[in-house]
Structure 1
């Protein structure tokens, strides 16, 4: 079967089928181009074991389970797997805190550029994940609000994570050159230079605008599915609607390649 990339009709996302047995640089170039265009790539029934999860993720950058310093937070639900400890196991029996719109690891000075996630154990019902398009969120702001957002910087970081960082509210994607909103409910704590009342009002407005259904795509998982997303221009939300059922995923965070 040859590689097929089918764009979804929603605001972001494409479905990739026909992954070859060997993951090489040619495949990496094809997938990277699609990743930049569609923001999220879904791989139904890819059945990536941990070795192939690392192999596929490595086509896009250096891998880590978390982010530098995050391991110092001493959270007992964090289980690292893989030969190099670059895989983070997300087990619903230990933690279900991702049911809020967020972008991964923005409390770090250098957040991950993306993530590759593989569904290991899937509930029979529920447990979908949603993603939203932060390019579209920025581009559809009213012009006066865009001008305001362009001028602001925000602090990211919340307990129990110890890291904090300040990022522009609007960033420029280093590959596509497109402007993107870069705030989220999960990690953005406040806007620099504003009172808490002013900051909360602006963040609420920006987040509510970004989270409109028109900006989103929703994926219904099956065991063996995988998803790759661009952390620089998306948010995601893991829906916690599956009761006592078990849900286990393996994730690698992707970072820019270290200089040789």
Structure 2
């Protein structure tokens, strides 16, 4: 089996065609991993994954959980499979709409390396999802701002919903070696070692910069589409513009089997 990977005309993302989800051999797995690292988000139009195929495809990239692999998450989640690995996101639950820029589960001690989403029921119009390329966003910063965030850590979490965990604000991708911004508006609460004013202003500046349209891709869903994204170098936003129409998703969250968390970037010579 051969697959066709086509880059989208955007800051990230590619479509994958020709994948037989019942026959995931080593060659296909290698091709998918290479495309995953290169494009950061892979879209599988109308692939219509069964739950078994969903788990098998996600497992090519790591260990699966519904959401978190530790006790830092205090939210309630609904799963659909016996093993509790497939999360159900239904628009009837306001929490599931996720209409804010975020990177998944960054409050965990080991944030996930990625997620695989299967669209079961898309609204007749609206409900698109957008992703940001945080590598391109880092590269687009001025040298003085890069210098200001060198070596600092950021606190992630929300009181009452999660625990709090610190991670480097600038990380390096373990596969590509690229430097990345690792803060997000959804879960990052502060930058450590700064006053409240300094932290809040700099964090807003970074988030505003990252969320510029130039760093994004936008996907219009159809029933049966799937999307696989690299959580280490992207953020995403589920656009809530479909009113009372129904939107239902199955999703697995993918973790590095080694247990590795975000890797701090080495000092940069500017």
- The TM-score with structure 2 as length reference comes to 0.92
Residue pair 2:72, 2:162 contacting (<8 A) in 1 also? no
Q: Does residue 41 of structure 2 align to residue 37 of structure 1?
A: no
Q: Does residue 198 of structure 2 align to residue 198 of structure 1?
A: yes
Partner residue in 2 for 1:257:
257
Deviations 1:5-55 (CA, angstroms, capped at 9, x unpaired)? 000110000000100231122211100000000000000001001110000
Partner residue in 1 for 2:110:
110
Provide the rounded CA distance (Å) in 1 between the counterparts of 2:217 and 2:234.
11
Query: Which aligned pairs between 1:74-89 and structure 2 lie closer than 5 A?
Result: 74-75=75-76, 78-89=77-88
Partner residue in 1 for 2:127:
127
In structure 1, stretches of 5+ residues that fail to align are none
Deviations 1:69-116 (CA, angstroms, capped at 9, x unpaired)? 4586252xx211223111100011013441100000000010000000
Residue pair 1:69, 1:163 contacting (<8 A) in 2 also? no
Residue pair 2:123, 2:242 contacting (<8 A) in 1 also? yes
Partner residue in 2 for 1:221:
221
In structure 2, stretches of 5+ residues that fail to align are 260-270
Provide the rounded CA distance (Å) in 1 between the counterparts of 2:258 and 2:168.
23
Between 1:14-23 and 1:102-111, the stretch displaced more is: 14-23
Residue pair 2:155, 2:189 contacting (<8 A) in 1 also? yes
Residue pair 1:103, 1:184 contacting (<8 A) in 2 also? yes
Q: CA deviation at 1:147?
A: 1.3
Query: Aligned in 2, Cα 1:70/1:227: closer, same or farther, shift over 3 Å?
Result: farther
Residue pair 2:72, 2:163 contacting (<8 A) in 1 also? no
Residue pair 1:25, 1:59 contacting (<8 A) in 2 also? no
Residue pair 2:107, 2:156 contacting (<8 A) in 1 also? yes
Residue pair 2:4, 2:17 contacting (<8 A) in 1 also? yes
Between 1:148-157 and 1:218-227, the stretch displaced more is: 148-157
- The TM-score with structure 1 as length reference comes to 0.95
Partner residue in 1 for 2:262:
none
Between 1:100-109 and 1:14-23, the stretch displaced more is: 14-23
Q: How many residues align?
A: 257
Would you identify which runs of 4 or more consecutive aligned residues in structure 1 move more than 6 Å?
A: none
Residue pair 1:181, 1:233 contacting (<8 A) in 2 also? yes
Q: CA deviation at 1:160?
A: 3.6
